[in-house]
Amino acid sequence: MNLQETFGSLVFNDAVMRQRLPKETYQVLHRTIAEGRTLNAEVASVVANTMKDWAMEKGATHFTHWFQPMTGVTAEKHDSFLSPIEGGGAIMEFSGKELVRGESDASSFPSGGLRSTFEARGYTAWDPTSFAFIKGDTLCIPTAFCGYGGQALDKKTPLLRSMQALNHHAKRILRLLGHHEVKKVTATVGPEQEYFLIDRELYDQRKDLICTGRTLLGARPPKGQELDDHYFGNLKPRVAAFMREVDEELWKLGVSAKTEHNEAAPCQHELAPIFTTANIATDHNQLTMETMRRVAARHGFACLLHEKPFAGVNGSGKHNNWSMSTDTGMNLLEPGETPAENAQFLLFLVAVIKAVDLHQDLLRISVASAGNDHRLGASEAPPAIISIFLGDELRAILDALEHHRAYVAGEKTEMNIGVKTLPRIPKDTTDRNRTSPLAFTGNKFEFRMPGSAMSISEANVVINTIVADVLSQFADQLEKAVDLRAAVEQIVVDTITRHKRILFNGNNYSDEWKEEAKARGLLNLPSTPDALPYLIHPGNIALFERQKVYTGEELHSRYEIQLENYCKLIAIEGNTMLDMVNQGVIPAVIGYTHKVAQAALAKRALLPDLDLSCEEGLVRRLNELLLGIRDGAKALADSISALHTAADPLARARHCRDHIFRAMENLRALSDQAEMITEESAWPFPGYSKLLATK
């Protein structure tokens, strides 16, 4: 395979446009993309026809507006290029109008009250900053999705709006600092994707995995991840073959899949791409998840993207590496050789610090889901408390600035790794804090809280918006300043003084940090129902409206949708557990109890004086568990039935958390105990020992 020829071969990218479009058309389109202008109809027609010819050469017969509704997955409606003509023939057509705008039935997508069922009209609009690509026999055109009145019904539109806000206010700052050549500032993102691979045959025998993506029942195996032998271990041949095919599929789509390795838990792996602009990174991450699922099936695997598919081992996240870059090649979070003297870096750094401190609630909301609640706060992922890790050197620089004293840089040291044949390695100025929700890692912030199944759109909408809002405040101050240098220094010092409570370089997993965070006044929102009400607080509505990212109506809709999704997911899990218990666990326990009892009776008939205390004890324990499982199943069924009596969406979500989920945990504990003393062949579905031993 020629990787250079393969990469982007199914993408209508800039190189293809430069080669195929008339020079004048290409220049107009390039300016449209670079400056965010509206594409005129004449240029759109030329682009559409060229795009169609290119796609047909690649085997495409259909086109679709590929969009991201508020379901969390992508959506598409396929139309063929074929158009009938007089005389019974047909031609292949694709107009500029079809490229730029489409219409889709909006009534069945979640809208949170933005649209009524009878208001079916929804529109898709081409996002020319994200290149069209071919998937199978279909030309996919990345688009935004909105309602008849212009309301955002998707995850892309707010992301594009937030990028626009960040661009506007960051450029205000840069112009004041003398960078008049900068025409665009872009949020850049590199999302690391964690996932599990298990045998498809075993997956198909687990109703919980099929219906919910996670195991609702299952006793812990004798060996999990205690020995740390899976992390960065040798790739098994089947897994390696899967990864190679995923790479090839993604490379063709222009996704820069770069790094793969085994993660901490058995059967857990990670794929990391090279960073790109936030909207393209979001599109690419959706394609990555879709591709992994599809390729897994061809290799006899099921790809699990749930945040916590197995109890007792690490769950899966999606590390969102975020920064800001200019069209001139500057990374605005690059410290440089002397970060203490780099006023520009410090200004953008403290903007992030202030934004995160002021809007902890929004960051927590951006990663809130029923699945991710299982993961956040466990000793494997960041806790639900937001904080920032900067490392010792940057923290010392900020402390020196705050207290108006000179910063004396520590001597640059090298790590001696104790092997004389290897070179000495320069030591970074910061370590990596794996427990921190938001860690500065050299020239970017790594936001480690998003769940593996999530779209990264919400997290980046929030980061872009809150940073843009702080930059707008800084720009307002600096534009009025008489002495710009003194004003920058004052902003940096004031921001550190007022918002340093959000900085923490220690162990975020510790109980001591929870107490310290509480004393600092930081929020601790452990569950989705705890976090979501903050979304519609007046101050947050004002923030998003001020930056023209969401209207109040759009925020209320997302509040309703997220609460509804939370309740639906937990209800589905509860009903799935009931099915597995009533149709599988209870019959299995009864059957195995009967088998043991029959064996005891046969022994007694043969040798009346035999000691049968083992069989009698086992039968007694199985019967105790059986009665407990019966009662637990009834309690779960009752709690699910009571869900519909809750007064409002938030009350229903709290009922799910406090009653349904608690009943599920109690029932699982009893079932898992029964599994541990039931003959393996009698258990109705594969256990953890098999699931986590993929070959």
> Do both 608 and 544 map to the same domain?
no
Q: SS3 for 162-208, per residue?
A: HHHHHHHHHHHHHHHCCCCCCCCEEEEEEEEEEEEEEEHHHHCCCHH
> Do both 540 and 396 map to the same domain?
yes
The answer to whether residue 161 scores a pLDDT higher than 90 is yes
Q: Is 394 a member of any domain? A: yes
> Which of the four pLDDT bands, split at 50, 70 and 90, describes residue 134?
very high
Instruction: Report helix, strand or coil for 119.
Output: coil
Per-residue pLDDT averaged across 499-516, rounded?
93
The answer to whether residue 675 scores a pLDDT higher than 90 is yes
Predicted confidence at residue 260, as pLDDT, reads 86
> Which of the four pLDDT bands, split at 50, 70 and 90, describes residue 525?
very high
Cβ proximity of 185 and 471 under 8 Å: no
Q: Is 275 a member of any domain? A: no
What is the C-alpha separation between 437 and 320, in angstroms, rounded? 10
- Residues 340-381: pLDDT tens digits? 568 899 999 999 999 999 999 999 999 999 999 998 866 567
The answer to whether residue 548 scores a pLDDT higher than 70 is yes
Distances (CA, A) of 631 to 114, 581, 625, 658, 661: 42, 11, 10, 18, 16
> Which of the four pLDDT bands, split at 50, 70 and 90, describes residue 417?
very low
Q: Is 331 a member of any domain? A: yes
**532 vs 420, residue with greater confidence:** 532
Per-residue pLDDT averaged across 455-461, rounded?
97
Predicted confidence at residue 524, as pLDDT, reads 95
Predicted confidence at residue 289, as pLDDT, reads 97
- Among 18, 49, 14, CA closest to 128: 14
What is the C-alpha separation between 323 and 128, in angstroms, rounded? 22
Q: Is 560 a member of any domain? A: no
> Do both 321 and 418 map to the same domain?
yes
Q: Is 264 a member of any domain? A: no
Per-residue pLDDT averaged across 682-688, rounded?
96
> Do both 149 and 190 map to the same domain?
no
The answer to whether residue 431 scores a pLDDT higher than 60 is no
Predicted confidence at residue 415, as pLDDT, reads 42
What is the C-alpha separation between 318 and 270, in angstroms, rounded? 9
DSSP 622-646: HHHHHHHHHHHHHHHHHHHHGGGGS
Predicted confidence at residue 103, as pLDDT, reads 75
> Do both 582 and 598 map to the same domain?
yes
> Which of the four pLDDT bands, split at 50, 70 and 90, describes residue 396?
confident
Q: Is 482 a member of any domain? A: yes
> Do both 636 and 597 map to the same domain?
yes
Residues pairing with 140 in the sheet: 64, 133
Q: Is 97 a member of any domain? A: yes
Per-residue pLDDT averaged across 211-239, rounded?
80
- Residues 588-630: pLDDT tens digits? 999 999 999 999 999 999 998 899 999 999 999 999 999 999 9
Strands 62-66 and 11-12: unpaired
> Which of the four pLDDT bands, split at 50, 70 and 90, describes residue 408?
confident
The CATH number linked to 133 is 3.10.20.70
> Do both 142 and 194 map to the same domain?
no
The answer to whether residue 418 scores a pLDDT higher than 60 is no
Predicted confidence at residue 83, as pLDDT, reads 77
| pTM of structure | 0.93
Region at 391 (left for phi over 0; alpha for psi -120 to 50; beta for the rest): left
- Residues 285-314: pLDDT tens digits? 999 999 999 999 999 999 999 999 999 888
Structural domain ending residue among the three candidates 107, 138, 154: 154
- Residues 256-280: pLDDT tens digits? 999 888 887 889 999 999 999 999 9
> Which of the four pLDDT bands, split at 50, 70 and 90, describes residue 383?
confident
- Among 10, 67, 166, 63, CA closest to 455: 67
> Do both 149 and 168 map to the same domain?
no
> Do both 458 and 602 map to the same domain?
no
What is the C-alpha separation between 163 and 465, in angstroms, rounded? 8
Q: Is 241 a member of any domain? A: no
Q: How many residues does the chain have?
A: 695
Structural domain ending residue among the three candidates 154, 176, 200: 154
Predicted confidence at residue 106, as pLDDT, reads 57
DSSP 90-112: EEE---HHHHHEEEEE-TTS--T
> Do both 334 and 202 map to the same domain?
yes
Strands 90-92 and 121-126: unpaired
The CATH number linked to 597 is 1.20.120.1560
Q: Long-range contacts made by residues 423-431, C-beta under 8 angstroms, separation at least 24?
A: 429/335, 429/391, 429/392, 429/393, 429/394, 430/390, 430/391, 430/392, 430/393, 430/394, 431/391, 431/392
Q: What is the largest CA-CA distance in the chain?
A: 104
> Which of the four pLDDT bands, split at 50, 70 and 90, describes residue 412?
low
Per-residue pLDDT averaged across 222-251, rounded?
81
Per-residue pLDDT averaged across 422-435, rounded?
55
> Which of the four pLDDT bands, split at 50, 70 and 90, describes residue 423?
very low
Provide the CA 520 distance to its chain's centre, in angstroms: 28
Predicted confidence at residue 236, as pLDDT, reads 85
> Do both 525 and 397 map to the same domain?
yes
> Do both 460 and 343 map to the same domain?
yes
How is residue 257 written in tokens? Answer: 């899949």
Predicted confidence at residue 121, as pLDDT, reads 66
Structural domain ending residue among the three candidates 525, 550, 575: 550
The answer to whether residue 500 scores a pLDDT higher than 80 is yes
Predicted confidence at residue 115, as pLDDT, reads 59
- Please give the tally of structural domains in the chain: 3
Residues pairing with 672 in the sheet: none
Distances (CA, A) of 77 to 100, 117, 293, 298, 664: 15, 19, 20, 25, 38
Domain carrying residue 96: 3-154
Q: What percent of the chain has pLDDT over 90?
A: 71
Instruction: Report helix, strand or coil for 439.
Output: strand
Predicted confidence at residue 235, as pLDDT, reads 81
Predicted confidence at residue 419, as pLDDT, reads 47
Please name the amino acid found at residue 82: L
DSSP 254-280: T--EEEEEE-SSTTEEEEEEPPEEHHH
Instruction: Report helix, strand or coil for 412.
Output: coil
Q: Average per-residue pLDDT in the chain? A: 90
The answer to whether residue 226 scores a pLDDT higher than 90 is no
